[in-house]
């Protein structure tokens, strides 16, 4: 498959990684980084586990990205289950490492997704407060999250968009969305966001499908829907991994190309620490590789 000429280099990408657990996963991560770096992403980000559960490996991963690669690197930061002092300590470590871009998130409780959120008595109440706090601590480039199908804990879409507006008003530079598969849903969401007076870029989160069954379980926990047309696209390929990977790359490339036709030119790709599908998607879109020349954290 080859998509339209207009897609070739008219868009930017960023990649999300997560800190590895164990030597094998660490090897996979750094192989993935090596294979994706020449797509010249705007930045790469590293996730931060619930309640700071991956603090040490997140910082170690970020430090190595900054020191050993030319990739602009952003660190995720959550305020759940942490005092302001603890949050500020992580920010200081990021700053010392050279990180100037922070993905600010409330985060899910360490007790699990779906449990009631209770702010730390000495911490930031929510992401908007965290963003304002980061603004007071330094000149950071701050990204936040957005939910085209609303956050699972939001009572309705209006409340969800009001939450996003508070984050934007506090100083967020952009919002990275939860993954979605129906572009009409995203377009309707974007219309509501703009109508609410939110002008920051809303960057679609793209999830190349590594495993449809696992994705459905994950999507159910985070409030994203998996439309039935994906079952049709993947039907008959359960025992055919090569054909299944081709379908997955086609699906993501087609989604990105359609979004480009709707005027979107920035994408945040959830890599799942694997390069194969990401490479295939960007190759289908005709994006040229350009080795990055300089290294610095955002």
Candidate list 16, 153, 242, 243, residue with the active-site label: 16
- Retrieve residue 265's tokens: 């030119």
- Catalytic residue list contains 153: no
139-142 long-range contacts (CB < 8 A, ≥24 apart) are 139/100, 140/100, 140/101, 140/102, 141/74, 141/100, 141/101, 141/102, 141/173, 141/298, 142/101, 142/102, 142/103, 142/104, 142/171, 142/172, 142/173
What is the length of the chain? 298
- Only one residue has tokens 């040229």, namely 288
CB 287 within 8 A of CB 9: yes
Q: Return the percent helix, strand and coil in the chain, to nearest 5.
A: 45, 15, 40
Quickly list H helices, the chain. 23-36, 55-68, 84-97, 127-137, 157-170, 183-195, 212-222, 228-234, 241-261, 276-284
Active site residues: 16
């Amino acid at each position: 498959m080859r998509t339209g000429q207009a897609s070739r280099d008219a868009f930017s990408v960023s990649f999300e990684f997560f800190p590895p657990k164990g030597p094998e996963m660490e090897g996979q991560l750094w192989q993935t980084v090596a294979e994706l770096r020449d797509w010249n992403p705007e930045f790469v980000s590293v996730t931060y586990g619930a309640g700071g559960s991956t603090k040490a490996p997140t910082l170690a991963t970020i430090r190595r990205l900054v020191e050993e690669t030319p990739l602009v690197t952003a660190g995720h930061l959550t305020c759940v289950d942490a005092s302001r002092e603890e949050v500020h300590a992580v920010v200081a470590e990021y700053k010392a490492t050279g990180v100037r871009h922070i993905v600010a998130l409330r985060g899910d409780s360490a007790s699990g997704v779906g449990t009631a959120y209770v702010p730390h008595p000495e911490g930031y109440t929510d992401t908007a407060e965290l963003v304002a706090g980061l603004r007071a601590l330094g000149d950071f480039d701050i990204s936040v999250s957005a939910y085209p199908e609303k956050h699972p804990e939001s009572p309705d879409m209006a409340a969800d968009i009001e939450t996003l507006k508070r984050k934007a008003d506090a100083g967020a530079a952009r919002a990275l969305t939860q993954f979605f598969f129906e572009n009409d849903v995203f377009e309707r969401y974007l219309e509501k966001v703009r109508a609410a007076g939110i002008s920051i870029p809303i960057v679609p989160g793209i999830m190349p499908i590594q495993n449809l069954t696992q994705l459905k379980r994950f999507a159910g926990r985070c409030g994203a829907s998996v439309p039935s047309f994906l079952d049709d696209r993947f039907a008959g390929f359960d025992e055919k991994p090569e054909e299944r990977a081709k379908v997955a790359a086609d699906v993501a490339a087609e989604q990105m190309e359609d979004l480009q036709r709707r005027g979107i030119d920035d994408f945040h790709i959830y890599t799942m620490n694997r390069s194969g599908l990401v490479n295939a998607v960007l190759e289908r879109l005709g994006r040229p590789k350009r080795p990055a020349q300089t290294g610095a954290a955002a």
